[in-house]
Amino acid sequence: MSPAALARPSIRLPGHRQMALGIARQRLAIGILLFGAFTILLGLRLGELALFDGAPRHAGVAVASPHMRADIVDRNGLTLASSFEAYALAARPRDIVGDREALVQKLALILPERDIAAIRAAVFHDGKFRYVTRRILPEQAEAIRRLGEPGLTLEREAERLYPHVGLAAHMVGYTGIDGRGEGGMERAFEERLTDPARLSEPLVLSMDARVQQALESELQSQMTLSEAEGAAGVVLDVHTGEILALASLPAFNSNSPGGLTGMPSHMNRATLGVYELGSTFKAFTIAMALDSGVVKSLDERFPTNPIHVSRFRISDIHPKPYPLSVPEVLIHSSNVGTARMAERMGAAVQKDFLKKLGFLDRAPGELLERGRTLYPAEDNWGQSAVLTVGFGHGIAVTPLHLASAYATLVNGGVRHEPTYLKVPEGAKRQATRVFSEKTSRLLNGMLRLAVMDGTGRRADAEGYRVGGKTGTAEKVLAGARGYDRRRNITTFAGAFPMDDPRYVVVTMVDDPSKGSRMAGTVAAPVFKNVVNRIAPVLGVAPDMAREPDTHAMDGLYTPRKKPVQP
Amino acid sequence: MARMMLKSPGNAAWMRDGSVRSGRRGWASAAFLIAGTLAVALTSYSLSLKVSSERRETDRIARQNRALESELKAMDAELRVRMRLPQLQRWNDTILGMVPISASQYLANPVHLANYGKPLPGDAPALPSVQLAVRDVPIAPSLAKPLLVSAPGAPMEKGATTRPSQASLPIDPVLASAMSQAVSSQTAPDDLLRQVEMTFQGQPGNP
């Protein structure tokens, strides 16, 4: 070891100690400053939290899961749709620990309604994420949570329940897998139903579930009886325009709508399907003719010999050998008589009335499934169009259009826009006058006579003073021009009680194939049964002593001799 | 530094006395400060504890309410599903068979109701009907006879201790036979009726 190396550690320069002390103090000072700054920072943050940040965010109880929707209830508060909390089960196959096959077996035990192959496919699949099943019950979710498998994810979501299953399926609608409304009111009021501020406030429909049930079950039994392709019906309050029932058959189960929206059962025949509703239109033509003054008196006579216009020939099915008075034209459903009235009126007046009645617009109401009516083109509304539209051919409308127009016809001549939402008691709705009160009163009497002495005898619900008109029209050939003579659309449109009309009922049976195919024997009995069932519910009492005023028609028609009981 | 150390003994005399006093004051104030801080801290902490426990309790109750609410909703839904209208319709179609009330079953006013009280056509003119306080069902002879008729030849049941004919009070045979005849032939109600009719017809105002 060199002397220099030995001497080095013992060398202490003067001032060295002071220097080391200075450095230590400096470091200490920096440390203290840092500590102080950190403390001040904490203090400031505390102050900020206390003063400016408000209440802690997790203070509220976690309640509503996403996709919760407000309930839908009928006019009496009966629940038609409501939301429940449910869970969706998803698998993240890469995170699964342990035996996958054992996991599949355990899941299959918990989810008996789910196909085991589907569970296996989700658990074994080669991706990051896959749903095993949606909308499972909280108990099942709890059981799955207890499995403790990190590769399984439970997501909260909402389950929509329709307690009445298929009742008013088309009107109420349904929700898709992601909880969004995909039909009916669910779709039309998507924003209102999902508004967080109004979740606890149910959407009140104008529909009465009891009336709806009566309409649907009567239509269904007639459909089964006559082996028809479909059926539709509407019940409308003539004074408010509220839709009390709207049925379209075949229907579907709203809880599991399934399939595509293009299926026949998903088409709303009452608001989306347009049909040539035939003779039910004659009442409008007569009202138009009386109201516009082209027919001045009820005793004007119309001959029934066929009319030839361009390539068409218009004739009556059972022509009478004598000229018909105005009431007789309706009672005997004379095509020729109404065509002659329409001819006198001309296209402009006819179009104007049809416009005011809403026949040239899309189906009324809040639903988004609104059919566009078919009518002659503007440049093609010549004489033949005027004549055929006069007795309800060449114009295709929805049953809801027809119900709304009948309500206008019988309620004194004012049109209220139909609505699916309950109108508050005593609220005044906007109304436009279409027919004069006098015309409306005369037509009420004539419609009553059409039931008592005309084609609608089987619709006469005893004591309820029913009035209305049958309509039988041939269906348009699919994919071809012209009509199919073997396939009919049968309709009955009417109101009750005719001395002071309150409700309009439209029943339509599409293509009855067994037994009679005429409206008088297919659609009219449905109308009668529906009225018999709904009138007590709606507070209309039968009265055998009352009848609407038909004095103006006295002597202008031949009353039926013997009452024919169906 | 050396200068300071030199200077300090000069000040020591007055400083020692003062520093003891000020040291005591400092200690007291420090103790006071610590005690005060402790007291405030403890009070605040206990308050904060109390508040947080209250908050937790309200949270728990809110959660419980929510759970009950959803349970109620689920039960209500189940009930509604069970009594859904299509189901009621099915029951009615298959079992109950109830039909809507017909027009003739409605009674609009009391006059309609009174119409139900009309006598049937073709009936005899109605007499004032009188409800008699007599039970006019036929009296079985087997009940009447053993009481009122002595039957000497009839076999006596063993153990039967009393018979009307052997009663301590002798029964007049003529009276007994008359009574039995009256009871068994049931003439009394008819007689009574006739008597009542006569009474009514005899009264003024009655034809």
Higher pLDDT pick, A287 / B125:
A287
Q: How far is B29 from chain A (nearest CA, A)?
A: 24
Binned at pLDDT 50, 70 and 90, residue B23 comes out as confident
Q: Give percent of chain B above pLDDT 70.
A: 47
A207 chain-B contacts, CB cut-off 8 A: none
Which of B56, B72, B84 is most worth mutating to test chain A (most A CB atoms within 10 A of its CB)? B84
C-alpha pair distances (Å), B174 with each of A43, B142, B170:
128, 20, 12
- For the stretch A115-166, pLDDT in tens is 888 888 888 888 888 888 887 877 888 889 888 888 898 888 888 889 998 8
Q: Does residue A262 register a pLDDT over 80? A: no
**Segment among A300-314, B98-112, B189-203 with least mean pLDDT:** B189-203
Q: Give percent of chain A above pLDDT 70.
A: 93
In chain A, whose CA is at the least distance from the CA of B88?
A213
Average pLDDT, chain A: 88
Q: H helices of A254-390, where?
A: 282-292, 326-331, 335-345, 347-356, 383-390
Q: In this predicted structure, what is the pLDDT of residue A63?
A: 46
Binned at pLDDT 50, 70 and 90, residue A247 comes out as very high
Q: Does residue B150 register a pLDDT over 50? A: no
Instruction: Tell me the average pLDDT across A469-492.
Output: 85
- For the stretch A6-55, pLDDT in tens is 555 566 677 888 899 999 999 999 999 999 999 999 999 998 888 876 66
Neighbours of A154 (CB within 10 A): 16
Which of A46, A137, A161 is most worth mutating to test chain B (most B CB atoms within 10 A of its CB)? A161
B70 chain-A contacts, CB cut-off 8 A: 84-85
In chain B, whose CA is at the least distance from the CA of A533?
B100
Q: In this predicted structure, what is the pLDDT of residue A261?
A: 58
> If contacts are CB pairs under 8 Å, which of residues 41-70 in chain B contact chain A?
55, 59, 62-63, 66, 70
Instruction: Tell me the average pLDDT across A335-351.
Output: 92
Inter-chain CB proximity A79 and B80 less than 8 Å = yes
Residue A278 CA to residue B90 CA, distance in Å, equals: 34
Inter-chain CB proximity B73 and A84 less than 8 Å = yes
In the set A254, A279, A334, A404, the catalytic residue is: A279
Element (H, E) at A83: strand A79-91
- A206 is known as an active-site residue: no
Q: How far is B116 from chain A (nearest CA, A)?
A: 17
Instruction: Tell me the average pLDDT across A379-393.
Output: 89
Find out whether A466 and A496 touch, Cβ atoms under 8 Å: yes
Higher pLDDT pick, A22 / B1:
A22
Binned at pLDDT 50, 70 and 90, residue B167 comes out as very low
Binned at pLDDT 50, 70 and 90, residue A386 comes out as very high
Q: Does residue A336 register a pLDDT over 90? A: yes
Contacts of A393 (CB under 8 A, 6+ apart): A276, A278, A473
Element (H, E) at A414: strand A414-416
Q: In this predicted structure, what is the pLDDT of residue B104?
A: 80
Average pLDDT, chain B: 69
Contacts of A426 (CB under 8 A, 6+ apart): none
Instruction: Tell me the average pLDDT across A43-68.
Output: 67
B89 chain-A contacts, CB cut-off 8 A: 213, 217
Q: Does residue A546 register a pLDDT over 60? A: yes
Q: In this predicted structure, what is the pLDDT of residue A284?
A: 95
Contacts of B147 (CB under 8 A, 6+ apart): B164
Q: How far is B77 from chain A (nearest CA, A)?
A: 7
Half-sphere exposure of A222 (CA within 13 A, CB side): 33
Residue A416 CA to residue A404 CA, distance in Å, equals: 8
* DSSP single-letter state for residue B95: I
- For the stretch B49-108, pLDDT in tens is 999 999 999 999 999 998 898 888 888 888 888 889 999 999 998 999 988 888 888 887
Q: Does residue A171 register a pLDDT over 80? A: yes
Inter-chain CB proximity A161 and B55 less than 8 Å = no
Q: Does residue B41 register a pLDDT over 90? A: yes
Q: Does residue A195 register a pLDDT over 80? A: yes
Q: In this predicted structure, what is the pLDDT of residue A559?
A: 83
What residue ranges do the domains of chain A occupy? 84-93+131-159, 212-553
A164 chain-B contacts, CB cut-off 8 A: 80, 84-86
Higher pLDDT pick, A278 / B163:
A278
Q: In this predicted structure, what is the pLDDT of residue A8?
A: 57
Preceding omega of A3 cis (within 30 degrees of 0):
no
Residues listed for chain A: 566
Q: Which two tokens mark A82?
A: 């409501």
C-alpha pair distances (Å), A497 with each of A81, A440, A500, A502:
33, 14, 6, 7
Q: In this predicted structure, what is the pLDDT of residue B162?
A: 44
Q: How far is B47 from chain A (nearest CA, A)?
A: 16
Q: In this predicted structure, what is the pLDDT of residue A344?
A: 92
Binned at pLDDT 50, 70 and 90, residue B131 comes out as low
- For the stretch A100-115, pLDDT in tens is 899 999 999 988 888 8
Q: Which CATH class is domain A212-553?
A: alpha beta
User: Which ipTM did the prediction report?
Assistant: 0.73
Residue A514 CA to residue A188 CA, distance in Å, equals: 38
Instruction: Tell me the average pLDDT across A418-438.
Output: 92
Binned at pLDDT 50, 70 and 90, residue A264 comes out as confident
Q: Give burial (CB, 10 Å; 0-12/13-18/19+) of A81.
A: buried
Residue B133 CA to residue B135 CA, distance in Å, equals: 7
Residue A152 CA to residue A129 CA, distance in Å, equals: 9
Q: In this predicted structure, what is the pLDDT of residue A337?
A: 93
Residue A256 CA to residue A262 CA, distance in Å, equals: 15
Closest CA to A203 of A359, A522, A468, A419: A419
Q: In this predicted structure, what is the pLDDT of residue B198?
A: 58
Q: Does residue B194 register a pLDDT over 50? A: yes
